A and B are shown apart, each in its own frame.
Chain A
């Protein structure tokens, strides 16, 4: 059974204080790992897809990295507008291609 564990559950940062969110996964062959951002009262919004270990992707202050067991979402010099819940999902190769989601990390960035 595919499993996704995100840590920490919640993270409070000061503006400009860089940190990382973790997504650990167990899957029988990774097809893709997805990161989403969810603002309060809204649906998740796609950020990145990573396909193989060693891959990195960046968008503004966010950088996602992938190893064979986990992914990190690095946030550099965050701003209050980066406050959101960040969700990770994995898609296994073979089968129905239905992603499995983690429970998310709630990030609050204080000015």
Chain B
């Protein structure tokens, strides 16, 4: 099992460019999440999904869009990147509405917006 994988690992964008971050999990998890992590701010939830075809806003959703067309994949899009979106992005997944709801995290994507 690969667990949770993220593509790409690093990316540099210019202000105004767009990109998509891909997250894939092979554990048949219902829930998937996108977080950003900035120094001193901890993990902040951007968007999440409770199942295939569903998405919901988290704590900091502005400037991002997501899609969950397949259960195993969760895409995070930046339509017009801004320097404030420079961060490390983590994807996670979990079983969902059960007692065993610990999250499994990917290795992260380090994004720099110039």
Q: Evaluate whether A34 and B103 lie within 8 angstroms (CB atoms) in the complex, with A43-B108, A98-B48 already known.
A: yes
The A-contacting residues of B in range 53-112, CB under 8 angstroms, are 56, 58, 90, 92, 96-97, 99-108
CA A51 – CA B102 in complex, angstroms?
12
Contact of B42 among A41, A91, A103 (CB under 8 A): A103
Contacts of B107 in A (CB 8 A): 42-43
Q: Count of chain B residues with Cβ under 8 Å from any Cβ of A?
A: 26
Q: A87-B42, A103-B42 are in contact. Are A97 and B97 (CB under 8 A)?
A: yes
Whole-angstrom CA separation of A49 from B101 in the bound complex:
9
Provide the B16-53 mask, 1 if CB < 8 A to any CB of A, else 0: 00000000000000010100000011110100101000
Q: In the complex, which residues of chain A have a beta carbon less than 8 angstroms from the beta carbon of B103? A: 34, 36, 44, 46, 89, 99
B92: chain A residues within 8 A (beta carbon): 43-44
B56 partner residues in chain A, CB cutoff 8 A: 96
Is the CB–CB distance between B90 and A49 below 8 Å? no
When distances are taken between beta carbons in the complex, the residues of chain B under 8 Å from A42 are 107-108
Q: Counting CB contacts under 8 A, is A25 at the interface?
A: no
- Bound: A44/B96 CA distance, A: 18
Q: List 9 A-B contacts (CB under 8 A).
A: A31-B99, A32-B99, A34-B103, A43-B107, A45-B105, A46-B102, A87-B43, A91-B101, A98-B45
Q: Which residues of B contact A (CB under 8 A)?
A: 4, 31, 33, 40-43, 45, 48, 50, 56, 58, 90, 92, 96-97, 99-108
Interface positions of A (Cβ within 8 A of B) = 31-32, 34, 36, 41-46, 49, 51, 87, 89, 91, 96-99, 101-104
Which 6 pairs of residues, A with B, have the shortest CB-CB distance? Answer: A43-B105, A103-B42, A46-B102, A101-B43, A44-B105, A43-B90
